[in-house]
Every structure is written in structure tokens, then in C-alpha cells.
A and B are shown apart, each in its own frame.
Chain A
Amino acid sequence: MHLTAGTLAMINLQAQIESLERRIEAGWTGIADKTTLIELIALRGQVRSRISDYEWAEAAAEKLARDAPTDPAAFVARARVRIGFHRFSEALSDLDTAHDLGADRADIDAERASIFQAVGRYDDAIAIYDKVATRRAEFDSLGALATLHADCGEIEIAEQLFDESRACYRNVSPFPPALLDFQRGHMWLEEGDLHQARIWFESALRSLPAYAAADGHLAEIEAALGAPEGAVARLLTLATSSDDPDYSASLARILKEAGHEEEAREWRSAAAARYDELMTRHPEAFADHAAEFWLEADGDRDRALRLATMNLELRKTRRAQHLFARACAK
């Protein structure tokens, strides 16, 4: 199945965003276009690892919920953005409001399931996803189930579901398959199989060359497999184009390992400042990555443990438990 080239899809995503912005500013449009714009800008943020896009989406969703307090779509939109910022209990509350206002039950359940998955309530999530996938075995439902089994560490089942999901894809947009391949790569990365992880991150990048998170993980894999030069080149681009401190942090670590202490210090300092800034604004969303940073950077073990504890209180996932254990061990 041929997909639209990722570069072309990004041009069209931007064209769509600009057109929607124009219509909304002119007052020609309703809530459906506003929620679409929020989703498209969040998608752009996800692809380019631009936290500023997520923040724009968050502000727009907050405004929408204030301006349209009787429209369920406004609360579903705000819930989705809040999920992105790991504000799970507030997101659940939005979904309850949306349900009370008459939102479609199936849509609400799918969002609830993604929250249950994110906080480690895997049994609750699987009950919903199984039901949806049994009723409609489609790309989305099978993909959601695949990532859930991946989070549970059930790799064989996840692999089969990833394949089934991909086989169901009947469109040419590169975004959904690239996001799915990224999830698959992430599963293998968590399992420690760097070669498998590389295959899927490369696949995601082939579909969507602008996919910063896939590029960032590939850089980490390259460094781990003994090719730090390529990793540094990738991360330099990402650290300068993205406002997500993960890339500066990875770059600092790899530079340090390669003996470039001074350069590493600069990037590490930039990352630390940005994590501090983001922890003030979005503590729930950045607790885990900031804890990783302080653990890896070996700079502030107490802070790492405090953040890992906070993250674990928020979600009892395997990853959060593992991070907490590492912080305790240090």
C-alpha cells in the first residue's frame, strides 16, 4: 500500500491548519472546526516534538470548554489535550461531563481506555479495547490493543496485533502508520532489543521523515550500537529545532560518553533549564522524563527520586515502576 510522502503530508497538514485558522478567525466556523484545529496542531506537535504546539492546543481547548460549556465535543477535545499532558483525573472528569452532555458512548470509552492504559489500569483498558476490536477489527482498534499488550509486556500478542492493525490500513495518510510503527519500536526499545526497535523507528521515519521522536530514538540506538557520530548529527538537528529538552539531554549524554565534556556540559545545562521550566508548567507530563534526566546526568539523585515517586503516584505502569526502582537503587 503506497502512502503519501511524509514531506508532502506535512505540507498539507500545515495548509490545513492555516486554512482552519483563517476560517476560525473570520468567525465562519463552528465547534467541529475548532476541535479539528486543536487535534491537527497537537498532531503537528507530536510529529515535530514541539511542546509549544501542545501548549497552544491546551490553551485553545481550555478556551473552547469555557466558551461552549454545553457542547460535549469541547470536553472531549479538552480531555484529549489533558491526556497528552498526563492530567488524567481532570481528563476523566471532562469525559464524564461530555458523557452527561450526550457524547457518543463509544468515543468516550475509547478515550477512557487510553487513560486507564496510561495510568497502568491495564485490565480496565483491555476490557474496553477488546470489546471495540471484537466489534470492529480496524486499524485503530487493533492498534490500540497492540500498544496496550506492548505496555503489559505481552510482546508476542502485541506483535500479532501490530501486524493485523497494519494489514487493515486502507488510507494513504502516512501519519497513522508512522505513529503505529513508532509504538512498535518503543515496545522493542523497552524490551532492550535495539535491532528490532531500529527496524520500526526507521520504518516510522521512512513514512514521516519529520518524525522527531522516531529520529531521537534512532540516535540513541545508534549511539548504543557504537555509532555516536551519526547519533550526534541527528540529535544536533533535533535539539536545535525542537523545544523538547529530551534531545538536548540525550545529546549531552552521548557527547559526554564520547569525551566531549565541555560541549556536553552546555547541552546538559540547556536541558536542565528547560526541564525546570517545564516542570513548573506541566509537572505531571514531564516528571518521568525529568527524573530520567536527573538519574542519567547523575546530578541530583534526590530530585530524580522525588520526580520518579511523583510519576509513580500518577501512574502505576511498568515503566514508572522501573524508573522508581532505578531511582531508589541510586
Chain B
Amino acid sequence: MSDHASGPRAFADPVVDITDMYAFPSPQQSGTLVLVLNVFPFAGTAALFSDAVEYRLRLRPATIAPNHPGSLFAVGRKEYTIGCRFALPSGDGDSLVQKGSCTTSAGATVRFNVNDELGSESRGLRVFAGVRMDPFFFDGRKALETIVTRKLAFAAQGNSTMFRQNVLSIVIELDIARTFDPGDGPLFAVVGETVTTGPMEIRLERYGRPDVKNLLVFPKDFDTVNRDIELRDLYNQEDAFKLGPAYGGALRTRMNSNLAFWDSLDGKVDWPLDSGSAHPLLALFLSDFMVIDLSKPYAPDSYFEIEQSALKRIPHQTCGGRSLNDDAIDTFLTIMVNGGNGPRISDGVDQATVRASPTFPYLAPPEPNPPVPKAPEIVSN
């Protein structure tokens, strides 16, 4: 389930729970980068953003470095941020209005009303925030069945767990030339975060690539060291660009075990462990960030292409990143199970409830008017 309910903290308070992040060049406006950060899985249409959280995107210039000890990429220290904050709503009932603002590290600020479909724009920054239909698609039940039965359980026709579900979405369009210094890029590492506001900043969630936490950190049965510990909250609080040493051992063991499990599902080993007994993708997913090349045009199915090319030590061809209709989960499953050396592994779900549009704010309008069910009959004691 991409990153839906990705840990006890997220489960307890969905308004901080990042469900997905997307990064892609605008399909219609060259020179424009689109960033999408979704939170609040299965949101009702009345859902609002927290006034105590900064919803943040961090971008750092990166270069491909196949021999880099951290991952396939060397990430610079220079950072561009876009932080969105929200106010207490005013009014009541149908006239309830929540205002928000987004500020970039370059100093641009845009103020907007939540759920205003047109969004607001200023100095090369355009922002929409509000309830939209969840663009993610994945048969989460079959993924769980795969983990429990230890056999690929996906059907030719799957059922998306997110069918007709809503999320709270932040959609940002950035003018690349006005946002980034000319010498930076074209490759950028991107991370989405929810962090507390106030004097003590605490990272509540982080997001790089889809389903890393729920498929690689959550399953405990394959972990031979810490089989009884939920590690996702610990994973979430780490800085993807600078991992701390405290929980590294536990997270490495957990992810290594789970990567080996996914690799085993086709009955052969496509990812032999390195000399240190680490799965070749371990470092990549441990310091998890999305990678996008801003010099390349929009491509509909470019997710993980840069990483795959870097692994093969060949030049990448696309912008990478992740666009809204990209079947990133099929790509992810295929990479994990057969390393691209076999047929494409599909979860049987190939598109969202409603496909994303090529124009702002890209995500489909929310599923309206949820029906109210009858209360169950009260059983006398």
C-alpha cells in the first residue's frame, strides 16, 4: 500500500501519514517540475491538513556514483526545500475554509485556500492543496498474501486497495530555471517528509520510493535478529540524506532479509549478496530517495529507470522520478523478484480509479458524498 499506514505513528494519526510522493517534469510545460505529496490514506471528503505539521519536500543535487558506499548516488549537501503549512480552518459547516502557504528555500511564498482547484501562483511556484482521489493503485491484499504464504499470490485481474479512495494532496509546480541554481543538477534526489512545527522538530514520516516501508521494513518473519520489533517508526525518523548510526544494524538486517525473501519468490537468486552479505539494493532503499533528471522530458513510465541504468552502469535514458499513472509497483516487484531478468511481475492492477490528467492539479477530483451506513442492530445482553 505504497506508504499508507506505514507504521504505528502514521496509523494512529493519518494526517501525518505520507501515502505517496511523485516527481515528474510537466507533460505540457517544459521547464516545469511537478512535485506531489499525498497524506491521509482513505480520507473523508471533509479531511484537512494539520496546523502542527510542516509538509515538506527536500531536493538535493546528486550524481551517479556506482561505487559510492552509501548507495548508487552521491548526494550533495546543498538543499532546496519547499515547506507547506496550514492554518486552523475558519467558518463552519460547508463554509469551512482552511488556508495554507508554501515557502521555498529560495524565498518564494504562495498562499492558497485548501480545495481551491485552481491553486495559487507566485514567482514560478504554483500550489494546490486539498482532497483528491488517491492516484495510487495496488492489490495490497495479494501483497500481504504473498508475504504470508511465501508465494507470489497476485492474480491477472487484481483489486486495488485504493479503489475510489481519497487522500489529502499537495501539488506543486516549480519553474526549474527560477528555482534551482544553474550549476546544480540535472540529477536531483527528492524526499518527502512530515515534520512537527515548533521548537523541537521531529520527523514523523519520510518518503522516497513507493512501498519500501510496507514491503521491506514491515514484514518481520524473515528477520532472524529482531523478529518481534516494529521498525517503521524508527525508519521514518531517519534523515534519508544522512542516516544515523543508532538503528542502522536493525534496519539493515530487516531490509536485507526481506529483499532476500522477495528475490526468492521465482525460485532463483537474481541478487547475489555482496562480500559483506548485503543485498545489492540494500543501501538504495535504506537511504531512500527518489531520483529525477531535470534535463530530460516527461516520460510516462520512467520510475526506477535511472537506478536500473546505474546498476547496469549504462547511461539512463529518461527523467526517472515517478509520474502519476506510472505502474511503479509492477516495476518495483519485477526488480525485487527477478532483477529485470524475467517476465514483468504484475499485481494485476494497472491504473488508478481515475487516471491522472496531464494538466494542473493532475489528480482526479475526490470521490464525493460517501454513503452513511445503517448502525448495526444493538444486541441485548
Contacts and interface: CB of A to CB of B under 8 A. Distances in A.
Contact of B197 (A2, A11, A12, A170): A2
B44 A8 contact: no
Contacts of A131: none
Contacts of A55: 378
Interface in A1-55: 1-5, 7-9, 11-12, 14-26, 28, 30, 55
B256 interface: no
Contacts of B46: 11, 14-15, 18
Interface in A150-184: 170-173, 176
Interface size bucket, B side?
A: 35 or more
B42 interface: yes
Nearest to B41: A19
Nearest to B144: A30
B375 A5 contact: no
Given A1-B200, A5-B88, A59-B378, A12 B14 contact: yes
Contacts of B164: 26
B198 interface: yes
Interface string B146-163: 000000000000000101
A16 B378 CA distance: 23
B49 to A, nearest CB: 8
B375 A59 contact: yes
B377 A172 contact: no
B376 interface: yes
Interface string B341-358: 000000000000000000
B198 A2 contact: yes
A58 interface: yes
A28 to B, nearest CB: 7
B44 A14 contact: yes
A303 interface: no
A62 interface: yes
Contact of A1 (B13, B42, B198, B372): B198
Given A2-B52, A2-B197, A18 B44 contact: yes
Contact of A21 (B15, B16, B372): B372
Contact of B370 (A3, A19, A62, A87): A19
A5 B96 CA distance: 15
A5 B51 contact: yes
A210 interface: no
B287 interface: no
Interface string B198-242: 101010100000000000000000000000000000000000000
24 contacts: A2-B51, A2-B52, A3-B52, A4-B53, A8-B51, A11-B47, A11-B48, A11-B89, A12-B15, A15-B44, A15-B48, A16-B42, A16-B44, A18-B45, A19-B43, A21-B370, A25-B371, A26-B164, A59-B376, A63-B379, A171-B9, A171-B13, A171-B204, A281-B381
Query: 4 closest pairs, A vs B, by CB?
Result: A15-B44, A22-B370, A2-B198, A15-B47
Interface of B: 9, 12-16, 40, 42-48, 50-53, 88-89, 96, 141, 161, 163-166, 196-198, 200, 202, 204, 370-373, 375-381
